[in-house]
Amino acid sequence: MSDESGSAGGGGDDLSSLSGFFFYVFIVHPATAWILKPGRFDRKKSIMYAIGFLALLAAVKTGMEMQAKGPNHYSLLNVSRNSSPLDIKRAYKKLSLQLHPDKNPNDPNASSKFDRVKKAYDVLIDMEYREVYNKFGQDGINSSKRFDETQFFMELGVFYVTWGIMAYVLTLGKRSSLGRQWTFTGLIVMLVVEITLMTSQGSPFPSWFMPQNTEYEAVWLLHTLFPAFMNGCRSIGSYLYVDLDAQTRQLLLALQEQNKDILLVLRDVQIGVQNVQATGGGGGGGRLATAGVVPPVGATARATPTGKIKELQDRLQVSNSTVQQAVGQLKSEKSNSNFGFYAMILGYVAFSYIFSS
C-alpha cells in the first residue's frame, strides 16, 4: 500500500470509505437485490451467487485501490515489519546501488525511484518515525503526528457513530432486523480490532502474518471492506428474514375461522337433536328414567346428546376467545429486543473514551 494515504480515521480514509459506501448502496445493492429476487434462482443458489458477487466485487475494488496506492516503505526496501535496523541498512545499500541515477542514465524515472527508496530508508531506520509510520502512515510522518489517546478516541467515536447512524438508517424496518444485527456485530468487532491495533506497543501481528504491512494499512483495509460487508448483510438479511409474528398471526386467524365454522356446525346439530327430542324421539335421559335409574344431580344435561354438544360448544367458545386475545397481542406488540444491543454499542464507545488509559 501507499505512503501517501491519510492517517487512520483521517479525512482521506473517511472520504474513501464514504465513496465506497455510496458505490455499494446505489450500484451494488440494487444488483444484489436483482440476484436475490424471489423465484429467479433456487434459495441456496441465490445466496451463493449473492455472496460470490459481493466478495468478487469487493476484492476487485479493494485490489485496484491498493494497486493505485503503490507499495509501502517495507515493500520498497523488500524488508519485513520486524526487520532490524541492520537488515534495513543492508537492503537500502543494495537497492541504492541498483537504482542510483548514475547507473541508470537511460531511465528517466531513475531519480524518482532512488528518492522514494531514500525516503523509505529515512523513515524505517529511525525507530520513532517507524512507529509513527506503522500507526498513521506517511501523513503521520509529514505532520509529525504522535499518538494522543484523547484525540484518537474522539476521532474513533466520530467515525463509528457516523457509520452506526448510516447503518441504522439503511436497515430500518422489521425486515432488515437480521441484517441490522449482523452489521452492528461487524461494526463492534471492527472497533475492537482497531483499538487493539492502534493502542498496542509495537506490532500485534505475528511475524508471519502480513509481514510487510502495517497496523495503519490493516485499519484502512477494514474501513474499505466495511461498506461491502454492510450491504451484504442488508441484502442477504432481508432475503432470509422470516416474519414469525405474521405467520403466527395468520395461523391463529385460520384457527379462529375454523372454530367459527365448527361452532356453526354444532349449532345446527344441536337444533336438529332438539327437534328430534321435541317430536318424541327421546334421549339418553329418558331411557335412564324409564329404567328406574335416577341420574346424578347436575349430570342430566351432560348425559344427553344435547348436553354433550353444549359442553363441546362451550369449550370451543373459550378456545375462540383465547385465539382472539393472542391475535390482539400480536397486533399490538412492539418489539424492543434490540434496545439492549444498541445500548451496548453506545456504552462501549463511551467506556473506551472515558476510561481509556
- In tens, the pLDDT along 6-61 reads 434 444 555 555 666 677 778 888 888 888 888 888 888 888 998 999 899 889 98
What one-character-per-residue DSSP string does 68-108 give?
Answer: HH---HHHHHT--TT--HHHHHHHHHHHHHHH-GGG-TT-T
Grid cell, residue 143, equals 505532520
Residues 6+ apart with CB under 8 A from 9: 152, 155, 156, 158, 159, 219
Reported pTM: 0.65
Q: How far apart are CA 232 and CA 227, in angstroms?
A: 8
324's CB contacts (< 8 A; 6+ apart) are 256
pLDDT band for position 89 (cuts 50, 70, 90)? very high
Residues in contact with 80: Cβ distance below 8 Å, sequence separation at least 6, in sequence order: 74, 207, 211, 212
Report the pLDDT value the prediction gives residue 173, as an integer from 0 to 100. 83
SS3 38: strand
Alpha carbon distances (Å) from 55 to 139, 221, 229, 231, 299:
30, 14, 9, 11, 73
270: which 3 cell numbers? 344441536
Q: Output the pLDDT for position 327.
A: 60
Confidence of residue 122 (pLDDT cuts 50, 70, 90): very high
> What is the structure's pLDDT at 287?
44
CA-to-CA distance for 332 and 190, rounded, in angstroms?
Answer: 37
Alpha helices in the chain (DSSP H): 11-23, 29-35, 43-69, 73-77, 85-99, 110-125, 127-142, 149-170, 177-199, 215-240, 244-278, 284-290, 300-303, 305-332, 339-354
pLDDT in the model for residue 315: 67
Burial class of 278 by CB neighbour count within 10 A (0 to 12, 13 to 18, 19+): exposed
Give the whole-angstrom CA distance, residue 114 versus residue 10: 29
Q: What is the CA radius of gyration of the chain?
A: 36
- Segment 312-318 shows an average pLDDT of 69
Residue 177 or residue 287, greater confidence: 177
Split at pLDDT 50, 70, 90, the class of 280 is low
Q: Give the pLDDT band (50/70/90) at residue 66.
A: confident
Pick the more confident residue, 167 or 336.
Answer: 167
Q: Does pLDDT of 258 surpass 60?
A: yes
For residue 166, give the C-alpha cell.
448510516
Work out the angle between the directed axes of helices 149-170 and 11-23 (0-180°, nearest 10). 10
Question: How is residue 294 annotated by DSSP?
Answer: P
Phi/psi of residue 38, nearest 5 degrees: -55, 135
Model confidence at 252: pLDDT above 80: no
pLDDT tens per residue across span 23-36: 777 888 888 888 88
Residue 202 backbone zone (phi > 0: left; psi -120 to 50: alpha; other: beta): left
In this predicted structure, which of 146-155, 164-173, 175-184, 279-288 has the lowest mean pLDDT?
A: 279-288
| Cell numbers standing for residue 303 | 348425559
The residue-averaged pLDDT of 296-301 equals 45
Q: Of 74, 68, 61, 57, which is closest to residue 210 (Cα–Cα)?
A: 74
Mean pLDDT, all residues of the chain = 77
- pLDDT for the residue numbered 354: 53
* Residue-wise burial string across 188-220, b where 16 or more C-beta atoms lie within 10 A, e elsewhere: bebbeebbebbbeeebebeeeebebbbbbbbbb
